[in-house]
Amino acid sequence: MPDTLEQVEARFVAAQQEERVRKLELVKSLADALLNLPVNSIEFGDKALELRDVIDDCD
Protein backbone atom coordinates (compact mmCIF):
# COMPACT_ATOMS: atom_id res chain seq x y z
CA MET A 1 0.00 0.00 0.00
CA PRO A 2 1.45 3.41 -0.95
CA ASP A 3 2.35 5.95 1.70
CA THR A 4 -0.15 8.64 2.56
CA LEU A 5 0.64 12.29 1.98
CA GLU A 6 0.92 12.77 5.75
CA GLN A 7 3.52 9.98 6.01
CA VAL A 8 5.57 11.46 3.18
CA GLU A 9 5.36 14.93 4.73
CA ALA A 10 6.38 13.58 8.15
CA ARG A 11 9.43 11.84 6.66
CA PHE A 12 10.36 15.01 4.78
CA VAL A 13 10.13 17.15 7.92
CA ALA A 14 12.16 14.58 9.90
CA ALA A 15 14.84 14.56 7.19
CA GLN A 16 14.99 18.37 7.24
CA GLN A 17 15.38 18.37 11.03
CA GLU A 18 18.13 15.75 10.86
CA GLU A 19 19.97 17.83 8.26
CA ARG A 20 19.65 20.95 10.42
CA VAL A 21 21.03 19.09 13.45
CA ARG A 22 23.90 17.72 11.36
CA LYS A 23 24.80 21.20 10.11
CA LEU A 24 24.59 22.69 13.60
CA GLU A 25 26.87 19.97 14.95
CA LEU A 26 29.35 20.68 12.16
CA VAL A 27 29.35 24.42 12.85
CA LYS A 28 29.60 23.76 16.59
CA SER A 29 32.68 21.62 16.05
CA LEU A 30 34.15 24.39 13.90
CA ALA A 31 33.50 26.93 16.66
CA ASP A 32 35.17 24.61 19.17
CA ALA A 33 38.16 24.25 16.87
CA LEU A 34 38.39 28.04 16.52
CA LEU A 35 38.31 28.44 20.29
CA ASN A 36 41.16 25.96 20.65
CA LEU A 37 43.47 27.66 18.15
CA PRO A 38 46.55 29.25 19.70
CA VAL A 39 45.71 32.82 18.74
CA ASN A 40 46.75 36.00 20.52
CA SER A 41 43.81 38.03 19.25
CA ILE A 42 41.19 38.81 21.90
CA GLU A 43 38.81 40.01 19.18
CA PHE A 44 39.11 36.67 17.36
CA GLY A 45 38.35 34.79 20.56
CA ASP A 46 35.37 37.01 21.27
CA LYS A 47 33.97 36.34 17.80
CA ALA A 48 34.43 32.59 18.25
CA LEU A 49 32.59 32.76 21.59
CA GLU A 50 29.83 34.82 19.99
CA LEU A 51 29.48 32.20 17.25
CA ARG A 52 29.28 29.47 19.88
CA ASP A 53 26.55 31.36 21.77
CA VAL A 54 24.49 31.75 18.59
CA ILE A 55 24.85 28.04 17.86
CA ASP A 56 23.81 27.11 21.41
CA ASP A 57 20.71 29.29 21.03
CA CYS A 58 19.77 27.33 17.89
CA ASP A 59 19.92 23.96 19.65
Provide the angle, in degrees to the nearest 10, between the axes of the packed helices 42-58 and 5-35: 160
- Let me know if residue 51 belongs to a domain: yes
- Let me know if residue 41 belongs to a domain: yes
Predicted local distance difference test score (pLDDT) of residue 10: 95
Predicted local distance difference test score (pLDDT) of residue 59: 61
- Let me know if residue 9 belongs to a domain: no
Residues in the chain: 59
- Let me know if residue 17 belongs to a domain: no
Predicted local distance difference test score (pLDDT) of residue 49: 79
Q: Could you give the number of structural domains in the chain?
A: 1
- Let me know if residue 55 belongs to a domain: yes
Nearest-angstrom CA–CA distance, 56 and 33:
15
Q: What is the pTM of this model?
A: 0.58
Predicted local distance difference test score (pLDDT) of residue 12: 95
Predicted local distance difference test score (pLDDT) of residue 39: 64
- Let me know if residue 5 belongs to a domain: no
Expressed as residue numbers, the domain containing 44 is 27-59
User: In this predicted model, what pLDDT tens digit does every residue of 8-55 receive, in sequence order?
Assistant: 999 999 999 999 888 888 888 887 877 777 766 666 777 777 877 877
- Let me know if residue 22 belongs to a domain: no
- Let me know if residue 20 belongs to a domain: no
